[in-house]
Amino acid sequence: MYKAIGYAAQSATAPLAPMTFERRAPRADDVAIEILYCGVCHSDIHQARNEWGIAVYPLMPGHEIVGRVTATGTNASKYKVGDLVGVGCMVDSCRECSACKSDLEQYCLEGPTMTYATPDRVDGSNTMGGYSNSIVVAEHFVVRIPEKLDPAAAAPILCAGITTYSPLKHYGVKAGDKVGILGMGGLGHMGIKFAKAMGAEVTLFTRSAAKAQEARRQGADACDRVHRR
């Protein structure tokens, strides 16, 4: 165990405030990470305010994490100290059920261990997220971040990015396909970029003239202004 510090909510109405807590020492297949950047997802706000009714306090949000490896467990071999890595919304699962064996750990039949506010599979402690200076994660749930990427800009890819990339990949979007993006917020602008990188013809649907203009700048082929009735 070692001391860590982060920002946590103590209740649904309390602001995030500094909190000292303990991170576990790396287990055999773990990677310890010094956190450099962590994005802010709106689900973090929902959780901190207990708007979904499942919050466990103290609650330390953050699941768009980029940092550098500081230590590895005895059986961990994918990463070495100093590697730039990322962590998304999950930090563990059973890794034995049919879903996990199909690389669908988010559907783990025992339930995945989320990056924060869920019980650790081994000791039952409440997981604490990326609004902190360090984290310890099973290496299976760590991804490599290319050194050429800006780590601050890479952090949101761990949630907003994968949320839009995943369906495009799942449905096999390819050159010449037509893709519609509804809205251009934190996810929409990434959807435009991913779809264009796959060679698709991209249309943005938005009520905002400013966002239509920005979508063109981001590479959208067309913009359809939707008017409120």
**What string of pLDDT tens digits covers the 229 residues of the chain?**
889 999 999 999 999 999 999 999 999 999 999 999 999 999 999 999 999 999 999 999 999 999 999 999 999 999 999 999 999 999 999 999 999 999 999 999 999 999 999 999 999 999 999 999 999 999 999 999 999 999 999 999 999 999 999 999 999 999 999 999 999 988 999 999 999 999 999 999 999 999 999 999 999 999 988 766 6
Give the distance from CA 126 to its chain's centroid.
Answer: 18
Please enumerate in sequence order all residues whose Cβ is within 8 A of that of 26, keeping only pairs 6 or more positions apart, or say none.
32, 71, 72, 73, 76, 136
User: Phi and psi dihedrals of 119, rounded to 5?
Assistant: -70, 135
- Can you tell me whether residue 209 is helix, strand or coil? helix
- Full-prediction pTM beyond 0.95? no
Give the distance from CA 96 to its chain's centroid.
Answer: 23
Q: How far apart are CA 134 and CA 192, in angstroms?
A: 32
Check if 2-158 and 160-225 are the same fold: no
Class of domain 160-225 (CATH, top level): alpha beta
Determine how many CB atoms are found less than 10 A away from the CB of residue 139.
Answer: 19
Q: Does the domain at residues 2-158 carry the CATH identifier 3.65.10.10?
A: no
